[in-house]
Chains A and B, each alone.
Chain A
């Protein structure tokens, strides 16, 4: 026997869409700022079309059925784009679950036998719940992609090597130092040493939030690599908290020149290069 309620649902598609849209528009958390109502309607209609076209008695209780591949694709697209647009998980979830209300309301109106309505309600409920889970999975994946892209961007922008003086490079490190970042920092620094022929590199860690033994090891590695290139490495920007942690962790930085501020590191660099910074003399004043 062909399932009566599915037929009803397919026949009543326009009514369901209307109901669904009403539910969504009535929702307090409607985000008109992120998506216009017309776009929302197009999106919803596409999803409903795909769902009703593929719905049958066999797959009603099996969301993993291959019949739903198109539905799942559309859902994945919707939730990924919503993640990028900045919808909250609650809003995305509410979007999918409001479809359930519309479907069940329509069923209740059309079918008079309470037992059938109950049975179908439970099955539809399960199906939409499954869709909800899929939506969340893709939503989180979409968010993770955003995070990954941002991480890449941060890595790209946050490792500049600056020439502060002839033969003196400065490298301000901002953010946590992990092994992949250390690798990039090291490569950039060594490359720049070769290109500029610098003999002193200042590694400023005032932007590093915390130094643990791993970070310290990365720092020591960078310093050793710089030394192998024939340049001297000074670490500056040691904050009091960092000094405390380093000593408490028993990390030996005594082989490395460390300075509290970039200014004092630069002064040390000038000393090493036998340079002197002198105040400009005012001839007029002296002559007067």
Chain B
């Protein structure tokens, strides 16, 4: 069975969705990701959906769910690389993904995560330089 890899990168988890998600895969991702967050104590989750070209209301909800779950487990979630068509679809479906931070690309997403965590924890900037 296909599985979406969850990569650990310092204090962050990196999820790159390279295939079009179907419902089962998305549900598994949700379960795996919360497991990983709890196991690694990650402070941030970055979901890259730049390769996702089709999205439905269920997928939109799953992404929203993942963000809310990570949030209550004290990990910030950033969704990056959403395609314009996907963004419009989500809005038309009435899913503005409130509570999910978005960024244009992985680089910006990382910056955003770092800024947020530094803000939350008051972590000194050099914490990240040691990676």
A: residues with CB less than 8 A from B are 183, 186-187, 190-191, 193-194, 197, 199, 221, 224-225, 227-231
Contacts and interface: CB of A to CB of B under 8 A. Distances in A.
Nearest to B86: A228
Contact of A225 (B87, B104, B109): B87
Contacts of A193: 84, 104
Given A194-B104, A224-B91, A231-B104, 4 more contacts: A225-B91, A229-B84, A229-B102, A230-B109
A230 B84 contact: no
24 contacts: A183-B88, A186-B88, A186-B91, A187-B88, A190-B84, A190-B88, A193-B84, A194-B83, A194-B104, A197-B105, A199-B104, A221-B91, A224-B96, A225-B84, A225-B90, A228-B79, A228-B102, A229-B82, A229-B84, A229-B87, A229-B102, A229-B104, A230-B108, A231-B104
Contacts of A227: 96, 102
Contacts of B88: 183, 186-187, 190, 225
B102 A230 contact: yes
Contacts of A197: 104-105
Interface string B59-101: 0000000000000000000011011101110111000110000
Given A193-B104, A197-B105, A230 B91 contact: no
Contacts of A221: 91-92
**Range for the number of chain B residues in contact with chain A:** 10 to 19
A199 B96 contact: no
B117 interface: no
A231 B103 CA distance: 7
Interface of B: 79-80, 82-84, 86-88, 90-92, 96-97, 102-105, 108-109
A181 to B, nearest CB: 14
A162 B49 CA distance: 27
A137 to B, nearest CB: 37
A51 B79 CA distance: 71
Contact of A228 (B90, B105, B108, B109): B90
A187 B80 CA distance: 18
Which has the most chain A C-beta neighbours within 10 Å: B86, B87, B96, B108?
B87
Contacts of B79: 228
B93 to A, nearest CB: 11
B96 A228 contact: yes
Which has the most chain B C-beta neighbours within 10 Å: A191, A199, A225, A231?
A225
Nearest to A186: B88
A193 B108 CA distance: 13
Contacts of A183: 88
Given A228-B96, A230-B109, A190 B87 contact: yes
A228 B105 CA distance: 12
A194 B83 CA distance: 8
A194 B84 contact: yes
A221 B95 CA distance: 10
A230 B103 contact: yes
Contacts of B80: 230
B87 to A, nearest CB: 4
B84 A187 contact: yes
A191 B87 CA distance: 11
Contacts of B92: 221
A199 B86 CA distance: 18
Nearest to B104: A230
Contacts of A187: 84, 88
Contacts of B83: 194
Nearest to A221: B91
